[in-house]
Structure 1
């Protein structure tokens, strides 16, 4: 149980998770790639209009698979924002890759597409577009840059499930896309993730890498009479119980998203006055972007001391939090990565952001309490 009367997050259960888990137990299929895994794959492929979807045991695992699929070697450079979770960079660093950190946009906190080309060198292999808060990066420009320079694009859509860009599901635009189903996300399985493959030529290798570097998948489909070690890989599959839990969530993905959007919109409407007074700045959703209400954050006026505000929330039994410490300023980030240009927006915005509680089942009175405290800060 949370120590707060209004916690930052509460995992949402549809009520069918245990039923599906019991069915998997009854079927005697507990390892990966059972019937529930196949249902999830089909759903993700249809929703994302991708060539192939593969469940993984985490979004981190899906990113690590991406690095293997792109044949990252020591010294290869990968352009990404510094304002992201450590897995975005770590997956490539594990292969000897060098994250090249680029500043973010002031409006969406996404990778600033206008700064990418200045960061490209002869060693650049890929661009990682992180869709912060489920709001899309400017993918048309990013894809055009990648095409001009013959680079691959990986969409880090860890927070982007059920969001889209100009009618295209996030994760379906770059050569590869990744999702997270961690319990802090909108659609959950406790731990879990998925890799979306949009470049058909990568599909066969993705299946091999996911199965410890073997062609085990082909063996079970009857395409080969035995399976063997083919290349580097690892055990990236989730168990069938995880997939069974996830299937209960995917069945209600539309309803979950709509309910979260109502909570998000309540905050947005209620905080309009606080923004007009210069206390905060509300999130910006660019034209063409359909977000998923993954989070509601505000950017504090520079005059407001964030730590004092968070302590005030805590004194009122409300759990509000900030977010990432920029990777370029971390010990590992400064050691393994490099910076392209000034990261002034990254540094400024990361010090001013506050994320508000948002979870299904949150009452209007609870949201009112959050809004009132923030508006009077």
Structure 2
């Protein structure tokens, strides 16, 4: 570097900072040693090519003037609008003295809280009732979309001792405005609270429900599966009205088994009784299987061509298998989808 060029270097670090920005933009930050050295080498090669081009009279900048900011400084006294009148924008430091103006002395009045004119009444928490309050609110919201076309006709004429009948009444109270539910009331609606408490006492005695005490916790929708399936006791006559109302929340399936038979035999089939399907659950294993795609999981769920291999044929006589070499597969066919489809997420 010549002495004349050395003297032209400014004393500020602006040029170094600008060059650092160019290096980071061209190469990147926090790189490993070897890739970083290779990047710096290529960066130096590019600047050497620019120097060679400029020495031969090649234009290496955009526009007419590579230092256009100098004209702005000579004309306006500053190069950037943000630097104009910087003294006025400088923050005023507090020296400990009180403010001198009445405007500074006046504190800002807090904005009064605006209460909504109408609130939707709900349930008041009582004895760990959050699981039931949440479930009833979600069911009421889902059923309100077409209550008159689906839930109302499917739940009518239910037996008086059916928990589904009381569930429909609670949904009707919240969605159809059979009582004046609009308007704020501290602690929630007394009518809804009484309905919830009475319903909770009733489902305590449903077979398969785990909430044996009013102060205990329960799963959000475990009670719903229990009241939809408690009428299916072995040997009991299934009421078609209750079965129809249960299909609002639960699906029914049938299993079809097929066996190819022995070499000298013939194909044979077995059709199971129609039964209620277990809860729809998306476990971590299923999430990994379908790569988090709920659509693929649902398409595979309703697909009727899938088959599950079985260990052996079901035909036995006095403990001895009648079909020893047959290939057995089972098809589980989904007969209906519930109107309110509940999917439990994150279960193992």
TM-score by length of 1: 0.21
Higher relative contact order (CA 8 A, sep 6+): 1
- Higher strand residue share: 1
Structure number with greater Rg is 2
TM-score by length of 2: 0.22
